[in-house]
C-alpha cells in the first residue's frame, strides 16, 4: 500500500510506505541479444559516474568565443557536413503524402527568416510568436527566430482568442507568424489589445490577398538576404518562452536559454536512445514543450529525420505512419497510448511495426498496464519518462538497456540528481534555514526535487520572479510533484501536490487508484479526486470513461468498486464511481483533476484556457 498514515506524530506526515499496490506487474527484463542496435546508455551506473555536462557540451559545435545557438547546433552544423542532404523534417499530409525539408533546405530557409527579422527591425531578445499548425512555416519560424537571437514562443493553434491574447500580452509579442484563416478567426478581434505586436506574417496565403493588417510571409522572406550570418548568442541568452499546460491553474511562462540544447541532445541520446540513422516521431504539438524540445530541437541536434504529422490522432493512421515511414523511435503520451489500446490489438496487428525499436511516453503517469500492452501489441514496452516545462528536458527515464518496473518513471538521466523532500501535512516541502529536508529512506513519499545546474533548467517565470524564487530551496528545484524512490533508485510518481487526497488518515495519490481501475477491461480513462466528507475528511471519487462495448450501470459500478477494493484495500479504493463520457483534459492530453473537483463542488472553474473543447 502506498498510502501514508497521516495520524503519525510530529509536524510532518511521514509514515511507512511499502511496495506499490500489490502490483501484479513483473519487471520487464531486456534480453541483450534481442536489441537491433547497441543502446547508447549501455551501462547506467558507469555512464552516470563518468558523465559531465561539460563533456556533453563538447558533443556540440558551439560558436566562436564560447557562444552557443540552438539553430546552429540543430541545423547549420549538419548543413555544413556530411548530413547536408539528409531529410531533417518529413511532413505527413492527409493521405500520407510527404513534404521533405533537408538540413540544407532548412538552413537556407532559416537564414532568410533570421535576416527577415533583421529587416523588420526585430531585436534580439524580443518575442516572436507562432500560431500555426504543424506545417513547415512553424518549424522555419522557430529555428529562424532562434538563429536570429530573438525569443520564440509557440502557441497551440487550437487556442481561442482569449488565451492567445493573454499569452501575446504577457510575452510582449512583437511579431506573430500565423495563417490567414487562424488570423481571421482568432486574432483580428484581439489585435488592438496587444499594442506591442508590430508584425503579423501569414503563411500559406496562396493566390489570395493576405488579410488586412498582415503581410504575406513569403514576400519579406523572398526579399530577405539569403546570406548566412552567424549571430553571437551566449549559452545563457533567452531562446524560448513556453507556457505550461495549465493543469493545476493559470499557465506560467517558463523561460529557457540556448544552453538548453546541451540537455536536449544528451537526453535524446540516453533517454530516447537516438542514433543518427533513426526515423523519429514525436507526436506532441510544438505548442507544448515536448513538441519543441523533442519535436524540433533534440532530433535535429542529432541530425536524424523527424516525422511531423500535420493531421490529428487516428489510431489506424498512426500505425500506418509508423509502418510506411519506417519509424524506429516513437515518443508519445499516455493519453494517446490509451486511445491506441482502446482501438484494440487487432487493429495494431494489421500493420508491420517491426522497424519500431524504442517507444517512450511523457506527460502524465503511465499506468503499468499500458507499459505491458506496448510489449505485447507494439512489440516494444513503453518507456515512461518524467519532466516538466520548467525542466526543459527529460529528467527521469526508463532506458533502453535497463529493465522496466511498470508504473515507475525510471531513474534520473546522467547529469541529473533527483531527491525526495519531506513534506508537511499540506504537502509543502519542509525547509529549514533555506535547506530542504531530503529523505534518505526508500519508499517514503515526498516532493520530487532536482539539484540545480542542468543546462535546460528554466530561468524564470515571465513577470513572476517571486513565484520562480519560491520553486527553489538551497541547491534544489522543487517540482510540485510527489514521488517516492525505491531501494534500487527507481522513482514512482504519486501525484501532483495539489491533487493528492487525504482520506481517513491516509494520503492517497490519484495515480495509484487510476492505474488499478485502468486494469479493468471496461475502463478506458479515469480521473480520481477527493471530495469532502464529514468523517473521513475526503473520500475518493473516480470518474470513469468506458471502452466501447461496455455499458455504464449499477452492475459495472459494483464490479469496479470490488476490483479496486481487492487491489487497493478499503481505505484507498474509491467510494464513489461516476461514469463520464469525456473527462476534462488539457489540450496536451492531461486529465484536469482540478476541474473535476471544481465541477463536483460547484466552484468556479478558474483558468480553462488550455481545456480541450470537443
Residue 284 C-beta: closest distance to ligand ATP, Å: 10
Q: 432 exposed, middle or buried (CB, 10 Å; 0-12, 13-18, 19+)?
A: exposed
- Residue among 2 and 388 whose Cβ is closer to ligand ATP: 388
**How, if at all, do strands 127-131 and 151-155 pair?**
parallel
Q: Are 385 and 408 in contact (CB under 8 A)?
A: no
Residue 104's binding partner among ligand ATP, Mg ion, none (Cβ under 5 to 8 angstroms by kind) is: none
Residue 87 C-beta: closest distance to ligand ATP, Å: 29
Q: Are 85 and 79 in contact (CB under 8 A)?
A: no
Residue 492's binding partner among Mg ion, ligand ATP, none (Cβ under 5 to 8 angstroms by kind) is: none
**Nearest Cα to 298, choosing from 278, 274, 277?**
274
Please, which residues have CB within 8 angstroms of residue 212's CB and are 6 or more apart in sequence?
A: none
Residue 217 C-beta: closest distance to Mg ion, Å: 33
- Grid coordinates of 119: 529587416
Residue 180's binding partner among ligand ATP, Mg ion, none (Cβ under 5 to 8 angstroms by kind) is: none
SS3 282: strand
- Residue among 73 and 384 whose Cβ is closer to ligand ATP: 384
Residue 90 C-beta: closest distance to ligand ATP, Å: 26
**How, if at all, do strands 127-131 and 523-533 pair?**
unpaired
Residue 7 C-beta: closest distance to Mg ion, Å: 30
SS3 251: coil
Residue 285's binding partner among ligand ATP, Mg ion, none (Cβ under 5 to 8 angstroms by kind) is: none
Q: Are 399 and 327 in contact (CB under 8 A)?
A: no
Residue 360 C-beta: closest distance to ligand ATP, Å: 10
- Grid coordinates of 252: 506560467
- Residue among 60 and 371 whose Cβ is closer to ligand ATP: 371
- Residue among 57 and 448 whose Cβ is closer to ligand ATP: 448
- Residue among 92 and 396 whose Cβ is closer to ligand ATP: 396
Residue 386's binding partner among Mg ion, ligand ATP, none (Cβ under 5 to 8 angstroms by kind) is: ligand ATP
Angle at CA of residue 511, ends 508 and 516, nearest 5° = 100
- Residue among 137 and 448 whose Cβ is closer to ligand ATP: 448
- d(Cα 313, Cα 104) in Å, to the nearest integer? 30
Q: What does the binding site for ligand ATP look like in residue numbers (CB under 6 A)?
A: 244-249, 251-252, 289, 362-365, 384-386, 388-389, 409, 479, 481, 493, 496, 588, 590
Other CB atoms closer than 10 Å to residue 601's CB: what's the count?
11
- Residue among 107 and 255 whose Cβ is closer to ligand ATP: 255
Residue 291 C-beta: closest distance to ligand ATP, Å: 11
Q: What does the binding site for Mg ion look like in residue numbers (CB under 5 A)?
A: 244
Amino acid at each position: 500500500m502506498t498510502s501514508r498514515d497521516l495520524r503519525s506524530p510530529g509536524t510532518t506526515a511521514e509514515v511507512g510506505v511499502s511496495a506499490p499496490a500489490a502490483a501484479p506487474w513483473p519487471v520487464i527484463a531486456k534480453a541483450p541479444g534481442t536489441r537491433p542496435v547497441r543502446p547508447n546508455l549501455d551501462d547506467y551506473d558507469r555512464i552516470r559516474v563518468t558523465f559531465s555536462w561539460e563533456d556533453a557540451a563538447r558533443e556540440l559545435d558551439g560558436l566562436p568565443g564560447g557562444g552557443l545557438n540552438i539553430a546552429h547546433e540543430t541545423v547549420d552544423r549538419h548543413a555544413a557536413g556530411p548530413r547536408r542532404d539528409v531529410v531533417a523534417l518529413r511532413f505527413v499530409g492527409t493521405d500520407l503524402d510527404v513534404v521533405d525539408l533537408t538540413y540544407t533546405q532548412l538552413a537556407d530557409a532559416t537564414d532568410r527568416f533570421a535576416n527577415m527579422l533583421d529587416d523588420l527591425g526585430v531585436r534580439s531578445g524580443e518575442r516572436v510568436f507562432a500560431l500555426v499548425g504543424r506545417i513547415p512555416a512553424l518549424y522555419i519560424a522557430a529555428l529562424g527566430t532562434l538563429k536570429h537571437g530573438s525569443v520564440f514562443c509557440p502557441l497551440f493553434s487550437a487556442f481561442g482568442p482569449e488565451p492567445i491574447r493573454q499569452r501575446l500580452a504577457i510575452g510582449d509579442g512583437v511579431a506573430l507568424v500565423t495563417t490567414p484563416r487562424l488570423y481571421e478567426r482568432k486574432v483580428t478581434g484581439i489585435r488592438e489589445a496587444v499594442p506591442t505586436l508590430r508584425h503579423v506574417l501569414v503563411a500559406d496565403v496562396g493566390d489570395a490577398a493576405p488579410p488586412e493588417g498582415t503581410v504575406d510571409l513569403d514576400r519579406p522572406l523572398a526579399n530577405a538576404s539569403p546570406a548566412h550570418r552567424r549571430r553571437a548568442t551566449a549559452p545563457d541568452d533567452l531562446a524560448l518562452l513556453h507556457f505550461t499546460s495549465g493543469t493545476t491553474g493559470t499557465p506560467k511562462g517558463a523561460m529557457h536559454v540556448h544552453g538548453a540544447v546541451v540537455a536536449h541532445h544528451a537526453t535524446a541520446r540516453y533517454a530516447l536512445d537516438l542514433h543518427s540513422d533513426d526515423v523519429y516521431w514525436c507526436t506532441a504539438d510544438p505548442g507544448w514543450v515536448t513538441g519543441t524540445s523533442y519535436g524540433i530541437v533534440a532530433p535535429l541536434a542529432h541530425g536524424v529525420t523527424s516525422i511531423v504529422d500535420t493531421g490529428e490522432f487516428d489510431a489506424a493512421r498512426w500505425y500506418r505512419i509508423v509502418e510506411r515511414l519506417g519509424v524506429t523511435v516513437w515518443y508519445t503520451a499516455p493519453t494517446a497510448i490509451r486511445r491506441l489500446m482502446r482501438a484494440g490489438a487487432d487493429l495494431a496487428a494489421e500493420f508491420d511495426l517491426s522497424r519500431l525499436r524504442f517507444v517512450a511516453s511523457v506527460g502524465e503517469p503511465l499506468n503499468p498496464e499500458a507499459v505491458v500492452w506496448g510489449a505485447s501489441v507494439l512489440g516494444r514496452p513503453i518507456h515512461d519518462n518524467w519532466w516538466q516545462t520548467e525542466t526543459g528536458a527529460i529528467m527521469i527515464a526508463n532506458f533502453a538497456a535497463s529493465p522496466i518496473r511498470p508504473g515507475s518513471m525510471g531513474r534520473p538521466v546522467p547529469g541529473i540528481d533527483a531527491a525526495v523532500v519531506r513534506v508537511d501535512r499540506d504537502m509543502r516541502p519542509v525547509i529549514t534555514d533555506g535547506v530542504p529536508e531530503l529523505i534518505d529512506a526508500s519508499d517514503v513519499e515526498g516532493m520530487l526535487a532536482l539539484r540545480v545546474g542542468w543546462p535546460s533548467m528554466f530561468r524564470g517565470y515571465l513577470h513572476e520572479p517571486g513565484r520562480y524564487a519560491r520553486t527553489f530551496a538551497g541547491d534544489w528545484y522543487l517540482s510540485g510533484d510527489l514521488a517516492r524512490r525505491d531501494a534500487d533508485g527507481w522513482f514512482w510518481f504519486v501525484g501532483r501536490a495539489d491533487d493528492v487526497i487525504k482520506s481517513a488518515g491516509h494520503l492517497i495519490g490519484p495515480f495509484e487508484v487510476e492505474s488499478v481501475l485502468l486494469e479493468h477491461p471496461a475502463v478506458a480513462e479515469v480521473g480520481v479526486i477527493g471530495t469532502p466528507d464529514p468523517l473521513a475528511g475526503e473520500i475518493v471519487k473516480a470518474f470513469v470513461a468506458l471502452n466501447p462495448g461496455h455499458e455504464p450501470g449499477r452492475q459495472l459500478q459494483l464490479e469496479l468498486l470490488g476490483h479496486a477494493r481487492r487491489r487497493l484495500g478499503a481505505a484507498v479504493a474509491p467510494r464513489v464511481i461516476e461514469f463520464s463520457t469525456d473527462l476534462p483534459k488539457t489540450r496536451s492530453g492531461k486529465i484536469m483533476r482540478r476541474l473535476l473537483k471544481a465541477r463536483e463542488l460547484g466552484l468556479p472553474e478558474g483558468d480553462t484556457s488550455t481545456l480541450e473543447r470537443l
